Chain A
Amino acid sequence: MSKNKSQDTGFLPPLSEGAGGGLKVIEVHNLVKKFGSFVANDHLNFDVYQGEIFGFLGANGAGKTTAMKILCGLSSPTSGEAKVAGFDIYKETEKIKRNIGYMSQKFSLYEDLTVAENIRFFSGVYGISPADRKEKQDKLLKDLGLESAKDSLIGSLPLGWKQKLAFSVAIFHEPKIVFLDEPTGGVDPITRRKFWDLIYEAADRGITVFVTTHYMDEAEYCNRVSIMNAGRIEALDTPKNLKKQYSAKNMDEVFLKIARNTE
């Protein structure tokens, strides 16, 4: 198996399916992160293009979270270079934070605030003017069909609604990239698919989506997928090419082959 597969992908047509455009919004070169003698990220190399849905997969402990923290400007790498939304991850973390959105299963919205209060808070954080906020908030609630829930506490809403809202709030300030850390855990299959509709819409609007998931069928929905194992990116390509390369009939098999063969 080629360990440097990831480096080749820059020459592929970036988006053989789905959204267009070839502008790099994430560029990662030889990124290394060590904790003591433990290498969490071992020379990562990849690019992510504008409007792309990029699946970031890997077993537990493979180094996904570490890499994601670095890209979000929350942690500094040990060596290597990376740019996110055009900004350097060493020096311009504040600018990076302003240009990305983030949502995870663990933290999304404040449970003890209402929907409108959450939106107002996050608008304030990203410096959206009250007039803009009002207009965008109405549109958001209308699109999600949640107008009636405007003054409900987040804690009282069903999980599926929370996830949709959390995602919409994460992209409320029109970031260039949105990072989604296992966004669809625990919901029923229909709600999960409705969530992916939102992801597609965001990608159509040019927002790059960087997503981790444990559902292998969701990996198929991504334009390109990288699979990490033991700190390295073992494979990076479109789901179609990966399946061909590993002669597998679905992404589940690809994942299992990679994770098991390299143990």
Chain B
Amino acid sequence: MKQFIGFLRKEFLHIFRDPRTMMIIFLLPIVQLLLFGKVINTDIQNSRIAILDQSHDNTTREITSKLVSSGYFVLGEELMPGDDVEDVFRKGKVKMVVTFGPEFEKSLERDGKAEVQLLADASDPNTARILTNYASGIINDYVKKEKLQNLQLPNQINTEVRMLYNEGLKSVYMFVPGLMAMILMLISAMMTSISISKEKELGTMEVLLASPLKPIQIVLGKVTPYLLLSFINALTIILIGVFLFGVPIKGSFVFLMAESFLFIMMALSLGILISTIAPNQMVAMFISLLALMLPTVLLSGFMFPIENMPLPLRILSHAMPPRWFIVIIKNIMLKGTGILFVWKETLILMFMTFVFIALSIKNFKIRLE
């Protein structure tokens, strides 16, 4: 035990004496959160749209006023049939064109089907996606409430979920879970792998290996400080989310922290696994960045919805631990669900942790080669 405490003391000294490590651990989470939350705000407000109404009936007029009164859209232009839609986009005046087919109301009541076309300026794909989602959500909502139940409309994708659990349609609700996954991954996996491979690079690992320390003691000694710091970080992010951005925690706080703990464990074991492969700090950092950070950002559904990905990437996204963690967090924070609804995701994370630990044990060498 004394050995272990001595090792911990040394690790904390390394961390506290290195300004770069300190910055990554304590400053980065806050800066990232503020950046994503405040600066890179993808919320839609007063986006200019154009309407091309080919039927001019009550329903289309009502839908139009619903869209405009939602606060997300402003009517920029009314188009006539035959107008060049592309030209409108090219001028950059509007972000989206909503086209109602001819005899909209009639065909809706008669066939239960009607045609609405949402054309968005996809030169900014993120905004385009959000605009079409919002618009189709509003149209869908209107038709469901006001018209028949069995109507079918184009673009009827997952808008329901978003509308239900993120009523303000605030992107910060999306970013807090995503950022949490990213930052925990960064600190737990990257920092651990770097700190272990640093000992290899500087030759101190040689002395540790030649000492009576058991490999498990070395690994635990290396990992424990980062477990602690990651946990503090998870807490910080949640607190900032709640108090600065008003993200709710509808579910159990203890359960939320327990799931975070599981995710941290997963990331730490991944970090150890990386360090067993990487001979020096640089390789450890590259593997961490390429294998962890990019997929976390790109493939976990944090920035780009998994539904919109091509099939191979969608399949690949199943192997991304943050994907499952984000689902869990969203469920707990925004929906207030318990383990009953996220047991599958939790089991997946547990399984991944187990695999990483098993591989690390298999890979960790008690000798130099």
Do A and B touch each other in the complex, judged by CB within 8 A? no
Interface residues of B (CB under 8 A from A): none
